[in-house]
Amino acid sequence: MVWTISIRPKAEKDLLRLDSKIARHILDKLSWMEKNFNSVTPQRLQGPLSDYYKIRVGDYRIIYDFEIKKLIIRIYRIEHRSKVYRG
């Protein structure tokens, strides 16, 4: 199964604000995730974000959801761990 990554506008803005080295590391992780999602154990968030999942990239978190029938992973936020769960 081949998964596709869809980066939502807010996550794209998050990515553009990051240092280029960090952004490259995150893009590498997303590329890996796209190719290996079947071996990933999604970590569900709690509380008001319980419809979403997270993946850790150093001190940054990628917030996403996925749809098995369409084989799509939607990226909603990319932010430092100290800020990502607010609002």
CATH of the domain at 75: 3.30.2310.20
3 state SS of 21 = helix
Is 28 within a domain?
yes
Is 86 within a domain?
no
Residue 69 has pLDDT above 90, yes or no: yes
Quote the number of domains for the chain. Answer: 1
Is 25 within a domain?
yes
User: What is the helix (H) or strand (E) element at residue 79, kind and residue range?
Assistant: strand 72-80
Residue 87 has pLDDT above 70, yes or no: no
Is 69 within a domain?
yes
Residue with tokens 């917030």: 63
The identity of residue 53, as a single letter, is Y
Q: Count of CB atoms within 10 A of residue 78's CB?
A: 29
Q: What is the mean pLDDT of the chain?
A: 94
User: 53: which 2 tokens?
Assistant: 């999942």
Q: Give me the domain span that covers residue 61.
A: 4-38+45-80
Residues 16, 35: Cα–Cα separation, whole Å = 23
Structure confidence by residue, pLDDT tens digits, 14-26 = 999 999 999 999 9
Is 87 within a domain?
no
